[in-house]
A and B are shown apart, each in its own frame.
Chain A
Amino acid sequence: MIDHFLKVKNISKSYPSKDGKSFVTIYENVNFSIEKGEFICLIGHSGCGKSTILNNLAGLDAVSGGNIKMLNKEVDKPSLDRGVIFQNHSILPWLSVIKNVTMAIACKFKSMNKEDIESRAIYFLKMVNLEGHLHKKPSELSGGMKQRVGIARAFAIEPSLLLMDEPFGALDALTRGKLQDKLVEICDKTKQTTFMITHDIDEAILLSDKILLMSDGP
């Protein structure tokens, strides 16, 4: 058997129904694999369990059956090897833009000194054109800028796998277009392995090497 970068085998997710007697299955028998350097998009209707799959991959949420292996290691808890860009950017609102990024870097590269962490944060914030807003609080930024901080934060920890949950879902068409271009540019440069969820088919075609389609649950 060939070793894939990431292998998803027969995973399923179900949770007990309200009366607690039966189980509601969201999805079952999901199989796919991701190779190094690939950009994969997952498309599906709202509510079919896309985000749950992403949370499974991130290790934030456990699968009910089957298993996920990354580099032959079981994925069962969150890890710095898998960076996540959340749907609603999830920047910590009490930290400035640069602190949001330096905090993530400090978690990943524990032996790095302060100046290096800072210059690394600035490098990645420059990459998303936010060098003029380093010391602003997230509340002073627009939605697109916040999302870019999220992107910078995720790239700055150099994850082996980048997971994105509808990263551009809440943005207007123009901003989305710009950020998509930026993302293509960055991913080409860094050869980042990426798994992205979207409900926008055009976006999926533009960005990805491979598209996975998810049908509605059983």
Chain B
Amino acid sequence: MGHTTGGDDAWARLHAYLVDPMKRPQVLLGSALAAFWSLIEPSLDPPPKSSPAPSDNLQTPMNLVMPLNFSYVAYRAELGHMLFDAADEILAGLNNVGTVHFARFDVIGGNLCMFSIFDGDFEGYIRDFIGAIGGAFDGIMKFVKDPAPTPCGQNVDQFVAWVRGHDSLQMPELASDVTPGLRALQRQTLVQLYRHPNAQMGVYRGYPGYSVAQIRDGLEIGW
């Protein structure tokens, strides 16, 4: 029995889905409507999160998905070596940013992903980490498709925009976050997912409402 590729699997799953008479109209109609709405309602993308309430600005996820130029094993190994060599700079830099709870690099399906949880404003976070680990990102840009202009530190605004463009769509965490109203939820969801193949669809926080510095201060491990 031959090896089945991921693409064949996907077709098989889609076929199974479409032959289900209960789901077929829903899938076809949803896809068609998403494409149509996406053309006529360009404003349905969620605006960047910005709230004056401090608790709304803690522990924000960033899910940066960066397609690699190539996905063959030697290329991924080279990327791994580069990240390993830059590990000290990255770890020290993120520590200096001071607002990062967690950050990690994963290679998933031909993409280099940086998943992190940070406190504060998205743009401020990106600017701070350019100052701290901009050199490492200059190296990363050599491995990814359509990279941001380098050096990142000399092209700050473009880099912030590039990161925003490669950050996964974050679906609303609470029903109350959905605007303009719950009636629009399905329509918005379809359009946003049509435009953004990568999406975050849920978050759990074990200690909501605390900054990384508050936690470190409370644990007396320095901040």
The reply to whether chain A is a binding partner of chain B is no
Residues of chain A touching chain B, judged by Cβ–Cβ distance below 8 Å, are none
Residues of chain B touching chain A, judged by Cβ–Cβ distance below 8 Å, are none
